[in-house]
Amino acid sequence: MRAGAIQLNARDDFSHNLSTADRLVREAASRGAELVVLPEVWSTIGPRDVMRGGAQTLEGEAISWARATAAKLGVDLVAGSIVERTRAADTNPAGPPRCANTSVHVGRDGDVLAVYRKIHLFDVEIEGQVHAESATFDGGSEVVTSTLGDPERTTLGMSICFDLRFPELYRILALRGAEVVTVPSAFTLPTTRDHWEPLLRARAIENQCFVVAPNQIGEHPGGNRSGGRSLIVDPWGTVLACAPDTECAIVAELDLSRGRAIRTRLPTLARRRPDAYDWGAEREEGRGGRRGPA
């Protein structure tokens, strides 16, 4: 199976973003990609009012385009993530719209096969800049796998950006059979520089899966900058493709038989010891760290 990752410099202009995404998805497909993945918030990006103003439902233009394009090109298309206006917003029309950071897997016939809403929201401070994703988005709560349209019906695991720092999610995806995991992202420039590749390779190695990780690149409205370097990584941790510092599509061959051979010869998933992993106290104390003696 060939996979493509699309690297974009999204703006607060949906028409512009859609035109670029359409061109690069078609380029990836023309280079043989059967699975194509867009980055996080490709439909619109910017300050909170911009994100809310550009929010769409899953019946909106962004996912309608994704469905038509996947069917026309005959590809599995993971439509990165969009700013989804959730139906919960309809119950409170006087208040600010509620949104989710939502990734959608569209199958080769144009049907929506899976919807994943980002679980871990990006509420952090990076080099003095505060990011408060929870001010715009409601977090999801469901771990999501889907099925690709290749002859072997490969299991796909879905995640988004900041999820990458939470290995529990990826272990669950692997235990549910995911052999390919998508990580559409808008990783900041500093964290792309220092953390992006090590984290992606770690998730691939420890879960013995392929990782397709398209990232945004460059400056966005509001001054945030994304670091690019979109990657496709194999289950050994080898980087199969890395994007240059520009908008582009990268494509790589995913040798699924090699991935399965790695799981057989180095059976870390099969050698797990769930009986030894007692999370009881740690689960309660994890927010503030484990307490010492009084």
- For the residues 9-20, what does the mean pLDDT come to? 96
Tokens 């619109």 belong to 44
- For the residues 146-174, what does the mean pLDDT come to? 97
Q: How confident is the model at residue 91 (pLDDT cuts 50, 70, 90)?
A: low
Q: Which domain holds residue 127?
A: 2-285
pLDDT tens digits, 208-265: 999 999 999 999 988 889 999 999 999 999 999 999 999 999 999 999 999 999 999 9
Catalytic residue among 118, 133, 209, 248: 118
Check: CB of residue 24 under 8 Å from CB of residue 77: no
Check: CB of residue 146 under 8 Å from CB of residue 89: no
Is the alpha carbon torsion for 118, 224, 16, 89 positive or negative?
positive
Catalytic residue among 34, 40, 84, 247: 40
Tokens 């990609």 belong to 33
Known catalytic residue at 72: no
Residue 116 lies in a domain: yes
Residue 291 lies in a domain: no
SS3 assignment, position 288: coil
Residue 290 lies in a domain: no
Positions of E strands within the chain: 2-7, 35-37, 76-78, 82-85, 99-106, 112-117, 123-126, 129-132, 145-147, 155-158, 180-182, 210-213, 217-219, 225-227, 231-233, 239-242, 248-253
Residue 203 lies in a domain: yes
Check: CB of residue 38 under 8 Å from CB of residue 45: no
Known catalytic residue at 161: yes
CA angle at residue 38 from 33 to 251, to 5 degrees? Answer: 30
Residue 46 lies in a domain: yes
Residue-level length of the chain:
294
Residue 294 lies in a domain: no
Residue 293 lies in a domain: no
The pLDDT value given to residue 291: 43
pLDDT tens digits, 28-39: 999 999 999 999
Residue 234 lies in a domain: yes
Known catalytic residue at 118: yes
Q: Token pair for residue 249?
A: 């599509």
| Rounded Cα–Cα distance for residues 72 and 175 (Å) | 33
Burial of 125-144, coded b for 16+ CB within 10 Å and e otherwise, reads: eeeeeeeebeebbbebeebb
Catalytic residue among 84, 99, 133, 161: 161
CB burial of residue 270 (10 Å; 0-12, 13-18, 19+): exposed
CA distances from 252 to 110, 143, 150, 220, 232 (A): 23, 26, 16, 28, 7
Q: pTM score > 0.85 for this model?
A: yes
User: What total number of domains does the chain contain?
Assistant: 1
CATH classification of the domain holding 26 = 3.60.110.10
